[in-house]
């Protein structure tokens, strides 16, 4: 049983968002990790990624990143170790985070094994709606407005501002998390054991599955 409220009250966490190239078997093109402490937003860790193939036109219309903007940038392999160091033993907060976790795991297969926790503000919103017997919007921008958080107030220091940029969405996720946690009961807990839920670490079975895949990948790369 995980006491989420106790875990969150130390005030230090990384909120994150990832944008993809929109193709089948998506690859990341933009990653943002926003550091928060008990006083609020501290700084952003930002990565613009070359997916090494054209970005789907629908994805371009959504997040605004073009081939010209990412071509020649670092690949996910180039930044993998920096990201591992950044998230290791940290509490991560995402919105509908299972999609982002799957996306980053295409380039960093052991990503799920690194953080202390991965919490999801979308699922927190659902829990709040149930606990308070209210209808609480779950889309990130609507939930932010519901809590009096204006996306236009995103810090000027963010690498790229605007909804559906990884920077603004990561910052919004952090602000929503800070707004939501005081509304939860002090003994708020979760029995869920997978990272797509409210979770701490991963189940033993999921860990073995990931480690087996890593071993398979390593074996396939041997000459």
Return contacts of 201-208, CB within 8 angstroms, 24+ apart.
201/116, 201/117, 202/112, 202/113, 206/112, 207/113
Q: How far apart are CA 222 and CA 96, in angstroms?
A: 36
Least confident of 72-76, 82-86, 119-123, 126-130: 126-130
Spatial contact of 170 and 33, defined as CB atoms under 8 Å apart: yes
**How sure is the predictor about 196, in pLDDT bands with cuts at 50, 70 and 90?**
very low
At a CB cut-off of 8 Å and minimum separation 6, what does 157 contact?
43, 44
Query: Measured between alpha carbons, how far is 128 from 72 in angstroms, rounded to an integer?
Result: 44
Confidence grade of residue 201 (pLDDT, cut at 50, 70, 90): low
Q: Does 208 score more than 80 pLDDT?
A: no
Looking at the chain, the whole-number percentage of residues with pLDDT higher than 90 is 47
Let me know: does 108 contact 80? Beta carbons within 8 Å. Answer: yes
Amino acid 131: pLDDT: 72
Helices (H) and strands (E) in the chain, counts: 9, 8
Q: Which residue has the higher pLDDT, 32 or 177?
A: 32
Does residue 183 have a pLDDT over 90?
Answer: no
- Residue 179, both tokens: 């707004």
Using CA atoms, how far apart are residues 180 and 135, in angstroms rounded to an integer?
14
Confidence label for 213 from pLDDT (cuts 50, 70 and 90): confident
- Per-residue model confidence (pLDDT) at position 221: 62
**Mean pLDDT value across the chain:** 84
Confidence check: pLDDT of 23 > 80: yes
Taking the model in full, what pTM does it have?
0.86
pLDDT in tens, 99-150: 898 899 989 988 988 988 888 888 888 777 777 777 777 778 877 877 888 8
**Per-residue tokens: 9:** 């009250």
CA distance to 31, 87, 166, per residue, from 162 (Å): 14, 24, 9
Q: What Rg do the C-alpha atoms of the chain give, in angstroms?
A: 17
Residue 32 has pLDDT above 80, yes or no: yes
Phi, then psi, of 92 in degrees rounded to 5: -105, 145
What's the rounded Cα separation, in Å, for the pair 38 and 108?
Answer: 29
- Where is pLDDT greater, at 179 or 54? 54
Q: Residue 203 — φ and ψ, nearest 5°?
A: -65, 160
Q: What is the DSSP letter of 116?
A: S
Scanning 30-146, the segments in alpha helix (DSSP H) are 57-63, 67-70, 76-87, 97-105, 121-132, 140-146
Grade residue 33 by pLDDT with cuts at 50, 70 and 90.
Answer: very high
């Amino acid at each position: 049983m995980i006491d989420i409220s106790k875990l969150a009250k130390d005030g230090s966490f990384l909120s994150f968002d990832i944008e993809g190239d929109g193709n089948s078997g998506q690859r990341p093109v933009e990653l943002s990790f926003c550091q928060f402490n008990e006083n609020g937003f501290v700084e952003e860790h930002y990565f613009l990624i070359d997916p090494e193939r054209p970005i789907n036109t629908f994805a371009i219309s959504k997040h605004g990143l073009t081939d010209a903007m990412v071509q020649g940038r670092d690949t996910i392999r180039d930044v993998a170790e920096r990201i591992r160091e950044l998230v290791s033993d940290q509490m991560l907060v995402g919105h509908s985070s299972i999609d982002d976790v799957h996306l980053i795991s295409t380039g960093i297969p052991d990503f799920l094994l690194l953080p202390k926790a991965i919490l999801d503000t979308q699922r927190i919103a659902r829990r709040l709606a149930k606990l308070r017997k209210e209808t609480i919007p779950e889309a990130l921008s609507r939930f932010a407005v519901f809590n009096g958080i204006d996306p236009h107030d995103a810090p000027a220091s963010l690498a790229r501002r605007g909804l559906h940029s990884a920077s603004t969405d990561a910052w919004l996720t952090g602000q929503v998390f800070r707004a939501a946690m005081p509304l939860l009961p002090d003994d708020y807990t979760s029995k869920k054991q997978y990272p797509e839920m409210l979770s701490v670490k991963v189940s033993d079975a999921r860990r073995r599955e990931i480690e087996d895949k890593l071993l398979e990948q390593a074996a396939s790369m041997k000459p």
